Structure 1
């Protein structure tokens, strides 16, 4: 449900001015801060306000569907980065760069929980290995996950906004149907670039190239299967 929080802001922008919408978002943020706390208020301003205003602007200007997706994704990504930075500065939470101690702490807590559930030593060893691999993969692909989550935000909010606004007389452009999906040359070259970077990373022992290559492959694979390329 939280994915749809920018939706009221989109509708507000289309039916009113930019100034009125921004003031309304700030007032909402202040009210949420008073009721639920300052962090929740910041979530309204940064997490939902930026994306809602951006999509409202793009729709009101009658931009193409590709332009809406690109601009909206950039806005969503920017807001997520701001939230991560605030979490890092004020709460000492750094989900982007898990260190070894954080990973070990998560694994130990999980193992203690399952040990209390009655798992055997062999089962706990298998679980530990699985958790270690999973957390290592998440750590590597986090940038791609963040970008894909930003695109997903735009798809969900635009799709629902299109259905809701249809009742108010707005005719928004729909997404391309599945039968018309095509893979462009940019997809293949980008995916091939990811393979090259992974190969160079292993050959010359450069972990950063491995991470970049894996993120590129994951990003373009998911984007392709969602019909954007």
Structure 2
């Protein structure tokens, strides 16, 4: 017997390895916004908590679990005179072309879950536009019954609104849904929604960061089927 009837995934750091996708993307964004000027790149990186030397976000970065709008407001601190709406649009469009690095081969993984009768969804603090672009680019958009971004009208994590919207959409009680994510935001949202919570280590958080909020912490989503059967 499975532990759940539906699985809800975070996107970045969960379906896609965070650093291989988003740290690479952020380096390009910082160069673009600074137009290659070294001093300005350093100021933007400092605001974003991004290490230019290692080309990686630091775990303290407010961008890691934030919404696209919050990321734009963060970067705007280092870009006085630049319009936040303009920065937000730049982030949305550039993020849709990010170099995607799936945490596991997604099509067979998702097909395996669907074959077991599980309903699947994605809730991200990215835009819905970005989420659909990424899932479409990797050929898996149609595997999901529900896709929501922070701008889809259900709210943003760590609030439980978008998670509960998924449960309603697929007609599954929250207690039979598993929320899978790489950040405390994801798992706090899952707890607030009354769902089981599984953390994965393909984001920026360590196991000790996730364990207080999780029923289990797994190396990546590829270990989820085994946990569901346990």
TM-score by length of structure 2 reads 0.25
Q: Which has the higher contact order (CA 8 A, sep 6+)?
A: 2
Higher Cα Rg: structure 1 or 2?
1
> Of Structure 1 and Structure 2, which has the larger fraction of its residues in strand?
2
More helix by share: 1
